C-alpha cells in the first residue's frame, strides 16, 4: 500500500556518483572528513566505475587531484594530466554503460585554489579564465568525457564551452551548468578531498546564500547560453531554490548533495547516532521531491548495492 501511493521515487539511473582520483596513488586511500569515501588510483577508479555501471547508476563525475599545481592550472589541459587520464580510463571501462562526466573547473589545478585565473591584484579575471575553460572543455572531450560539469561560476562559461566544443567537432558532448552554486560552508570536506590550496573564500563569484532570485537568474542565463542541464548546489540547504528552478526550467535540473551534507550524516552514523543509510536515502528523497531530475550523491553506490535503491 505504501509503495502504490508513494509520490516520489529514487531509482539508480537518477543518481550520479562523484569520485576523486589522485595522481601518484597505487591504491585507494580514505578521506578522513568523508567517512566511506576514498581518493582513487587509476586502477581503483576503473574498479569503482565498473561497480557503478553494474549497479545501474546514471553516471560518474570525476574530480582530479594533481601532484603539481600552478597559477594557470596547466594540468587541467594537459592530455596526460590526471583528470584527462582518468576520463580515458573510465570511458574505456564503462563508457557505453553510464555517462562519463568530468569536472570543468580550475580550482583543483591552481596553486591558489581559485576557480579562475588571478590578475595582478589577486582578483579573479573572468575573461582570462574563460580562455582556460574553453581549452579544458576540448581537452576533456578529447579524453572521452561525455558530459562536462561547468562548476567554475564564471560569467559566460557555458557559452564559451559550447562554442569551443562545437568548433572542435564535439557537438554531442553535453553541458551541465552549475548555475545556482552557492558560496557555502558545506564544501569543506570536498576541499580536503581535492587538497585545495584555497585561502579565503569564493564569495565574489559564487552566489550569496541569502539570494533565491539570483539562483533563478543564473539558471536562466546558462540555459540561454546552451546548457543541456542546470544544477543547484548544495542541495539540502537550497531545496526552495531547487523547487523554483525546477518549476521554471525547460531543461533537466540536477542537484548536488555536497560533501558536507553527506559527511554530517556519515559521521553521525559512524558514531551510532542515526541510521546512516536511511538518513542518506531520506535526504535523496527530499531532493527528488523538491524537483531534481537527478542527484549527485557520495552515497549513491552504497545505497544501490545495499538494495535500498532499486
pLDDT in tens, 266-303: 999 999 999 999 999 999 999 999 999 999 999 999 99
Count the residues in the chain.
Answer: 310
| Angle formed by the axes of helices 126-143 and 82-94, nearest 10° | 40
The predicted structure's pLDDT at residue 299: 98
307 is catalytic: no
pTM of the model: 0.96
Cell numbers placing 80: 596526460
Reading the block at residue 281, the C-alpha cell is 536515502
CA distance 154 to 134: 12
| Rounded distance between C-alpha atoms, residue 97 and residue 127, angstroms | 37
CA atoms within 13 A on the CB side of 209: 10
Does 204 score more than 90 pLDDT? no
pLDDT band at residue 26 using 50, 70 and 90 as cut-offs = very high
Q: Which residue has the cell 535540473?
A: 253
CA 48 to CA 13: how far, in whole Å?
A: 16
- Catalytic entry in 181, 202, 244, 288: 181
pLDDT of residue 143: 98
Helix-strand-coil percent breakdown of the chain, rounded to 5?
45, 20, 40
Q: Please give the pLDDT value at position 81.
A: 97
Is 233 catalytic? The answer is yes
- Report the distance separating Cα 111 and Cα 195, nearest Å: 11
What value does the mean pLDDT take over residues 177-183?
Answer: 97
User: According to the model, what pLDDT value does residue 294 have?
Assistant: 98
pLDDT at residue 203 tops 90:
no
Alpha-carbon distance 152 to 129, whole Å? 9
- 259: pLDDT confidence band, cut at 50, 70 and 90? very high
Domains of the chain: 2-230 (3.20.20.70)
Judged by DSSP in three states, 229 sits in strand
The residue from 46, 112, 114, 233 that is catalytic is 233
Helices (H), the chain: 2-5, 42-55, 82-94, 126-143, 157-167, 188-193, 213-225, 239-248, 259-270, 276-289, 300-305
Which residues are CB-neighbours of 197 under 8 A, at least 6 positions away? 69, 110, 111, 112, 113
Closest residue by Cα to residue 298 from 43, 24, 47, 48: 48
> What local confidence, expressed as pLDDT, does residue 195 receive?
86
Q: What is the share, in percent, of the chain residues with pLDDT greater than 70?
A: 100
Mean pLDDT of the chain: 96
Amino acid at each position: 500500500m505504501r509503495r502504490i501511493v508513494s509520490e516520489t521515487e529514487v531509482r539508480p539511473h537518477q543518481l550520479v556518483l562523484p569520485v576523486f582520483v589522485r595522481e601518484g596513488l597505487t591504491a585507494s586511500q580514505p578521506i578522513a572528513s568523508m567517512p566511506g569515501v576514498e581518493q582513487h588510483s587509476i586502477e581503483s577508479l576503473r574498479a569503482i566505475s565498473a561497480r557503478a555501471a553494474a549497479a545501474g547508476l546514471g553516471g560518474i563525475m570525476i574530480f582530479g587531484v594533481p601532484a603539481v599545481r600552478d597559477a594557470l592550472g596547466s594540468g587541467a589541459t594537459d592530455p596526460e594530466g590526471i583528470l584527462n587520464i582518468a576520463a580515458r580510463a573510465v570511458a574505456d571501462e564503462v563508457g557505453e554503460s553510464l555517462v562519463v562526466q568530468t569536472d570543468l573547473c580550475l580550482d583543483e589545478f591552481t596553486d591558489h585554489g581559485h576557480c579562475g585565473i588571478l590578475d595582478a591584484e589577486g582578483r579573479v579575471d573572468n575573461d582570462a579564465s574563460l580562455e582556460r575553460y574553453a581549452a579544458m572543455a576540448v581537452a576533456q572531450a578529447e579524453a572521452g568525457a561525455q558530459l562536462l560539469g561547468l562548476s567554475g561560476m564564471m560569467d559566460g562559461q557555458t557559452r564559451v564551452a559550447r562554442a569551443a566544443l562545437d568548433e572542435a567537432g564535439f557537438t554531442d558532448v553535453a553541458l551541465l551548468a552549475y548555475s545556482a552554486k552557492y558560496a557555502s560552508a558545506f564544501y569543506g570536506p570536498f576541499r580536503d578531498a581535492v587538497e585545495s590550496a584555497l585561502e579565503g573564500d569564493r564569495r565574489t563569484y559564487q552566489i550569496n546564500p541569502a539570494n533565491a532570485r539570483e539562483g533563478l537568474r543564473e539558471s536562466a542565463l546558462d540555459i540561454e547560453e546552451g546548457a543541456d542541464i542546470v544544477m543547484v548546489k548544495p542541495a539540502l540547504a537550497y531545496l526552495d531554490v531547487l523547487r523554483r528552478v525546477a518549476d521554471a526550467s525547460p531543461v533537466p535540473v540536477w542537484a548536488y548533495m555536497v560533501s558536507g551534507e553527506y559527511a554530517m550524516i556519515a559521521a553521525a552514523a559512524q558514531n551510532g547516532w542515526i541510521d546512516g543509510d536511511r538518513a542518506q536515502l531520506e535526504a535523496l528523497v527530499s531532493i527528488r521531491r523538491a524537483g531534481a531530475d537527478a542527484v549527485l550523491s557520495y552515497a549513491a553506490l552504497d545505497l544501490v548495492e545495499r538494495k535500498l535503491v532499486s
